[in-house]
Amino acid sequence: MNEEIKNTKDLELDIKNLVVEYRTPGGVTQALNGLDLEIEKGKTLGLVGETGAGKTTTGLSILQLIPDPPGVIVDGSIKLAGEDVMLKSEKEMEKIRGQQVSMIFQDPMTSLNPVMPVEDQIAEVIEMHELGEDGKPISHSAAILKAKEMLELVGIPGDRGTEFPHQFSGGMKQRVVIAIALACNPKLLIADEPTTALDVTIQAQVLEMMKGLREKYGTSMLMITHDLGIVAEICDTVSVIYAGRVIEHGTLEDVFDFTRHPYTEGLFNSLPDLDHRENRLKPIKGLMPDPTNLPKGCAFCPRCDYAMEICKTEKPPRVYRNDEHYVECFLYNEQNIKEGGLLGR
């Protein structure tokens, strides 16, 4: 039944069973182990997880930018609006990057070329992908004009376009990065922790702006973050990723109000609670497992308070709470997942 419903969805991005390894002389790092992701057209998916869970690798694989060597896509499929990007040639990918799919990188301080005026950097993506009115590639002056418009759009005066990145503050640089990413109206925007390097007031501004632009252009978005506050602010659906696998996925409401997986619960417990400041934070004990040597069973079981014998030896199956919301955990079966109440929340 679930299959049928999924087939009717209009998916912008559809990743199935993606396996990515980094093969180095020191061993094989299993970055992604059968990752599944779906983003509907115009919706925003939050990809939440710890450092090293494989969030950035996911973003880079969509653009086919995994550094190779050592990175190898071993298995799985990545479909953009129904087309498999793994079958595309490098030339075809160059057309897709920046036009159909754009990426915002984590650190605006280093993701702009320091010796190029910012408007030239915005114009670059426009020149590469857009045609002028005469059907020929757009002229440089027309691209610069459009670049200035983009700057105004993200709230920077157009006449500052001739300035260099070091003349901008961090928040403004991130706005420039966003302007570059949105310059060609991409269908999918991959935002890799876009606000991590910014302070909170600027974070709020940038998020607010991204929300506005997303609605204006109907862009689908993959929001890669470890900040649950941002997820609550901007996402429609949430996928929680652990050791390269989605362990819980659902709508924002499903995941926040009907949390089922012990790891997701752990993430929520790591947030301070303003109303009950006397409660101690309950961080998740331990660290992410060594990706070169993952546990045989559930990857989370060494850190899990609810771990059972079976967790050590077998991979947990996927259990659905409703059409969207699923969990990969041995705690649940078809019946008790609807009721919940197994976790101490």
Output 124 or 265, the one with its CB closest to other proteins: 124
Amino acid at residue number 86: M
Q: Choose the binding region for other proteins from 76-84, 156-164, 238-246, 312-320 (rule: CB under 8 A).
A: 156-164
Interaction of residue 182 with other proteins, rule CB under 8 A: no
Q: Any bridge partners for residue 240, and if so which?
A: 48, 248
DSSP string, 238-289: EEEEETTEEEEEEEHHHHHHS--SHHHHHHHHTS--STTTTSPP-PPPS-PP
Interaction of residue 213 with other proteins, rule CB under 8 A: no
Output 64 or 239, the one with its CB closest to other proteins: 64
Q: Any bridge partners for residue 253, and if so which?
A: none
Minimum gap (Å) between residue 225 Cβ and other proteins = 18
Pick the binder of other proteins from 50, 130, 163, 233 (CB under 8 A): 163
Interaction of residue 194 with other proteins, rule CB under 8 A: no
Q: Give dist(CA 288, CA 276) in Å, integer.
A: 28
The backbone torsions φ and ψ at residue 169, rounded to the nearest 5 degrees and listed phi first, read -80, 170
Pick the binder of other proteins from 43, 129, 175, 260 (CB under 8 A): 129
Interaction of residue 70 with other proteins, rule CB under 8 A: no
Interaction of residue 95 with other proteins, rule CB under 8 A: yes
Output 125 or 301, the one with its CB closest to other proteins: 125
Q: Give dist(CA 127, CA 142) in Å, integer.
A: 9
Pairing of strands 71-80, 83-84: antiparallel
Minimum gap (Å) between residue 54 Cβ and other proteins = 17
Pick the binder of other proteins from 25, 26, 69, 272 (CB under 8 A): 69
Output 105 or 326, the one with its CB closest to other proteins: 105
Amino acid at residue number 312: K
Report which of 260, 254, 255, 271 is spatially closest to residue 343, judged by C-alpha positions. Answer: 260
Minimum gap (Å) between residue 180 Cβ and other proteins = 6
Q: Which residue has tokens 């996928």?
A: 239
DSSP string, 22-68: EEETTEEEEEEEEEEEEEETT-EEEEE--TTSSHHHHHHHHTT---T
Minimum gap (Å) between residue 8 Cβ and other proteins = 32
Pick the binder of other proteins from 107, 130, 233, 236 (CB under 8 A): 107
Interface positions with other proteins (CB under 8 A): 63, 65, 69, 93-99, 102-103, 105-107, 110-117, 124-125, 128-129, 157-159, 161-164, 167, 177, 180-181
